[in-house]
A and B are shown apart, each in its own frame.
Chain A
């Protein structure tokens, strides 16, 4: 049976216009500007940059406006846009030890050098709706300390490392360039660099849920938040015409170093092992989820028994991408008229053949029988 799939053009074009009108909302209310989104919805912008895998606050704000605040849609828009831009090259690896800190906490060391710096966090808020925000108010001026923070602060993991209590994170032999998932497809087994790239652009909700599952006992990883830091790092590249590194700007990053218990093996004494999370912008929940999942995915490497979904690279890495996930789930809305018709035909044949031989009970499906009668 042939099913026409043409004929929706006018409906589609009109839906664009209706969408634009709904996006704009009440014309009596002032239109959102990109500067407002960038400045006052900065955490939404950060998530779109992270999972859109493109650090550009202006483009992320535009994507959020276009998507009417739908994050996954905005992420999709950013991913699609990046494919139109040429690739100039790769940066020098960012050095998070040089981060100009705006937040830095450790759940493992109370008195760490540089101190516990809370920064702009929701952690200690009462989570009561603040109705004063419903009205415009004067810009707040936060308190300022007499002395600034030290220019740089050592990572907690580097302090523990000095005692040999924690595994060292050293460059691989020859410091090879990592595989790039934006150039090559995901293949298994995936090395840690590939896994980290996959997780870095993975869906926050998914990583949060998988990380949570490891805490609830689906992979026993006993994590501590060794250190979380947020601030700005210089972004350096080596332009081909110069041959030396220059800073081309700064980017805001959130880094999470999870520290996990490890019983040791025949080669390695008992020590702490590490899970790593790094995310664009102020994205703490994302960085923490990523660090938990990174550690869980190291199960095979550390000789741990694989018992849980978060330890299965094929399962975890194939489902992190919310652009792919959203596309595949939402494609179910596309016309499947022919597919469905063939299944319906098949079902009818099965039922009529089973009715002829007198097996199977069709009396409890009156609806389908009614349809068949109608068509006859």
Chain B
């Protein structure tokens, strides 16, 4: 088995995997703003707690040499919660760190996105801007790093 060669999610899971990951990596302030937008258009789900937010630990694993035997590197704080709506759907939120509201926002959007009537629209109005913002942040950091790339040259003997 190759490193990290995990069972992949099915096609329907793949799209949920994508939005849950983007929501978790998004700045919470941006999610609040987007929540305001979907609330204004009546897309915000009505929810109740299935599991209130709780902060705990996940042990981060790594591999010796990057590709070898697994080892435990150290823990990271993680906050999780679960919400349900009237239709019995369950939205879950998992975020690294201790931001309880961030986890709740992820769960809210997860529920909203499971509603097939709005899913395509929300993927465009919520998830696509999150991806664009994340790519922008990385692009800026990457260009700044690239500016410190060494351009070697050789002094030729006269």
Contacts and interface: CB of A to CB of B under 8 A. Distances in A.
Contacts of A172: 68-69
Interface of B is mostly: mixed
A304 interface: no
Given A54-B76, A95-B4, A193-B71, A257 B58 contact: no
A103 B61 contact: no
Given A54-B76, A115-B150, A248-B24, A180 B59 contact: yes
B109 to A, nearest CB: 13
Given A89-B59, A115-B149, A242-B92, A169 B72 contact: no
Contacts of A100: 138, 141-142
B98 to A, nearest CB: 6
Interface string A213-254: 000000000000000000000110111011111111111000
Contact of A110 (B1, B142, B152): B152
Nearest to A104: B145
B35 interface: no
B8 to A, nearest CB: 7
B73 to A, nearest CB: 5
Contacts of A235: 58, 60, 76, 96
A96 interface: yes
Nearest to B102: A249
Contacts of B24: 246-249
Contacts of A7: none
A47 interface: no
A169 B64 contact: yes
A196 interface: yes
B75 interface: yes
Interface in B62-84: 62-78, 80, 82
Contacts of A196: 62, 64, 71, 73
B146 interface: yes
A115 B143 CA distance: 13
B149 A197 contact: no
A55 B58 CA distance: 10
A171 B77 contact: no
A118 interface: yes
B36 interface: no
Nearest to B66: A96
Nearest to B54: A86
B71 A197 contact: yes
A131 interface: no
A55 B75 contact: yes
Contact of B57 (A82, A93, A276): A82
Nearest to A278: B62
Nearest to B106: A248
A255 B58 CA distance: 20
B33 interface: no
A178 B74 contact: no
Nearest to A114: B149
Contacts of A169: 63-69
26 contacts: A58-B98, A85-B56, A87-B56, A88-B56, A92-B61, A93-B63, A117-B146, A117-B148, A117-B150, A148-B138, A149-B142, A171-B1, A171-B3, A176-B69, A178-B69, A192-B71, A193-B72, A194-B71, A197-B71, A200-B72, A200-B74, A247-B21, A249-B24, A250-B96, A278-B62, A280-B73
Interface of A: 49-50, 53-56, 58-59, 82, 85-97, 100-103, 110-111, 115-120, 142-149, 155, 157-158, 168-172, 175-182, 191-194, 196-197, 200-201, 234-235, 237-239, 241-251, 255, 257, 274, 276, 278, 280
Task: Please provide the 9 A-B residue pairs with the shortest distance between their CB atoms, ordered closest to farther.
Answer: A249-B96, A169-B65, A169-B68, A148-B142, A145-B146, A244-B9, A247-B21, A55-B76, A193-B71
